[in-house]
């Protein structure tokens, strides 16, 4: 079965969530680097601090604070169950 990982970044102050698809689950360091890049690109100020980790049936949620902003990172594992022929 093929699997795809969807990583969603929801940051207070950004109008839309940022979604990234990958075949491999990102490491904690890769997630931190992505948040750091988003902070730099949007001129957000404040220190990035990890607050909480939650896990439930194929989903992981990382909660960070960027100064006064809340950042939620959702990592979802999706598996292809049925493939339709064209």
Mean pLDDT of the chain: 91
What mean pLDDT comes out for the span 20-38? 94
pTM of the model: 0.85
The reported pLDDT for the residue numbered 86 is 67
Terminal Cα-to-Cα distance of the chain (whole angstroms): 19
- pLDDT surpasses 90 at 57: no
Query: What pLDDT, in 10s, does the model give residues 35-56?
Result: 999 999 999 989 999 999 999 9
Measuring CA to CA, how many Å separate 44 from each of 34, 62, 71? 14, 19, 12
Which SS3 state, helix, strand or coil, does residue 44 take? coil
The reported pLDDT for the residue numbered 1 is 56
């Amino acid at each position: 079965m093929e699997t795809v990982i969807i990583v969603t970044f929801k940051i207070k102050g950004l109008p839309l969530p940022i979604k990234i698809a990958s075949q491999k689950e990102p490491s904690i360091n890769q997630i931190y680097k992505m948040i750091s890049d988003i902070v730099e690109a949007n001129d957000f100020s404040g220190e990035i601090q990890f607050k909480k980790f939650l896990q439930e049936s194929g989903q992981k949620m990382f909660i960070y604070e960027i100064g006064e902003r809340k950042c939620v990172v959702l990592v979802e594992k999706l598996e292809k169950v049925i493939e339709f022929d064209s």
